[in-house]
Amino acid sequence: MQNDFLVIQPEVKEALSNNRPVVALESTIISHGMPWPRNVETAISVENAVRKEGAVPATIAIKNGKCHIGLSVEEIEFFGQTKNVWKVSLRDMPYVISNKLPGATTVAATMRIASMAGIKIFATGGIGGVHREAQHTMDISADLTEMSHTNVAVVSAGVKSILDIGLTLEYLETMGIPVVTFGQDEFPSFYSTKSGFNSPLRIDEPDAIAELINTKWNLGLNGTVLIANPIQKEFEVAPEIIESHIQNALSAASNNKITGKEVTPFLLKYIAENSKGESLEANIALIHQNASLAAKIAVALSK
């Protein structure tokens, strides 16, 4: 696919033109989701987790007016260390690109750019969703609307309980997005395998997930399939512990009058800084898990 705004790394380009498996990865998590240097170490080792399963990683970010698909180690360092990198969701893309600003892409923007390049699957940690109190704030992530029409499957660790998990699942249903939990009945909540909500679907094999994705698109149904991959037990953080951090983070956000696109990064940073690194370790572990599962599904999709 030709697009003047895309710069595709040669290895990724070659894989795509030979129908070999490629997994897209986002950059907001690098610039806004984790502290340096763990963010850079994680971004690099997550790419290795994708390779280990036989797929090619394509970390996506915006620089010098172009959408970069596949970053060098130097570029990952740049996005990990530079202050004032934009957090780019869909609505920010035209401004950041036309002004040639550096931008780290959210799930929504990463999916869209991946789709422009012809990548079919994307791995992340947590997706955006319907925030708690959204009935008053209208704070619903553009990740959800993007998932309703862009044909890139998404692997995440479920939905963080900074969001309203029940409302997010309702919204996904409204948007016609199949939600599949890998290997268990309950929908996971990022730090925990539990959320109190049943998953709409459960599938235990990556090949069968690939089959579902292909069937959806072959039917002409546009949009993602959301694959929720539960955190491994050894990295789980008890829901009560996380809930108390979230309550504190929400009060701090309200006291500091945090609104709009700053809300999610503020909450994530607050929780990471106040949970003695426990949440950061969980975060890192599950991004690796998600990248491996996405790579297995990518391999199955390319058969």
- Known catalytic residues are 26, 160
Amino acid (1-letter code) at residue 131: H
Amino acid (1-letter code) at residue 115: S
CB nearest ligand PSU: which residue? 126
Answer for the pair 263, 209: CB distance below 8 angstroms, yes or no. Answer: no
User: Which of 104, 122, 84, 127 minimizes the C-alpha distance to 39?
Assistant: 104
DSSP 62-103: EETTEEEES--HHHHHHHHH-TT-EEE-GGGHHHHHHTT--E
Q: Which does 77 bind (CB under 5 to 8 A by kind): Mn ion, ligand PSU, none?
A: none
Pick one of 59, 195, 199, 264: the residue that binds ligand PSU (CB under 6 A): 264
Answer for the pair 121, 298: CB distance below 8 angstroms, yes or no. Answer: yes
List the interface residues with Mn ion, window 129-148 (CB under 5 A). Answer: 139
Site string for ligand PSU, 154-193 (x = CB under 6 A): ------x-----------------------------x---
Interatomic CA distance for residues 129 and 162, integer angstroms: 9
Q: Which stretch binds ligand PSU (CB under 6 A): 1-9, 16-24, 138-146, 269-277?
A: 138-146
Q: Which stretch binds ligand PSU (CB under 6 A): 113-121, 137-145, 146-154, 201-209?
A: 137-145
Site string for Mn ion, 157-196 (x = CB under 5 A): ----------------------------------------
Answer for the pair 128, 141: CB distance below 8 angstroms, yes or no. Answer: yes
CA distance to 33, 82, 147, 228, 233, per residue, from 166 (Å) = 23, 36, 17, 15, 23
Site string for ligand PSU, 27-46 (x = CB under 6 A): -xx---x-------------
Residue 126 touching ligand PSU (CB under 6 A) = yes
Residues in binding contact with Mn ion, number by CB under 5 A? 1
State which residue, 102 or 128, has the beta carbon closest to Mn ion.
128
State which residue, 213 or 249, has the beta carbon closest to Mn ion.
249
CB nearest Mn ion: which residue? 139
Q: Which does 186 bind (CB under 5 to 8 A by kind): ligand PSU, Mn ion, none?
A: none
Classify residue 138 by burial, with Cβ atoms within 10 Å: 0-12, 13-18, 19+: exposed
List the interface residues with ligand PSU, window 71-100 (CB under 6 A). Answer: 89
Spell out the long-range contacts of 243-246 with Cβ–Cβ below 8 A and sequence spacing 24 or more. Answer: 243/161, 245/270, 245/271, 245/274, 245/275, 245/279, 246/161, 246/162, 246/271
Three-state SS at 1? coil
CB of residue 42 to Mn ion, shortest distance in Å: 24
Q: Which does 270 bind (CB under 5 to 8 A by kind): ligand PSU, Mn ion, none?
A: none
Interatomic CA distance for residues 212 and 214, integer angstroms: 5
State which residue, 21 or 126, has the beta carbon closest to ligand PSU.
126
Residues forming the site for Mn ion (CB under 5 A): 139
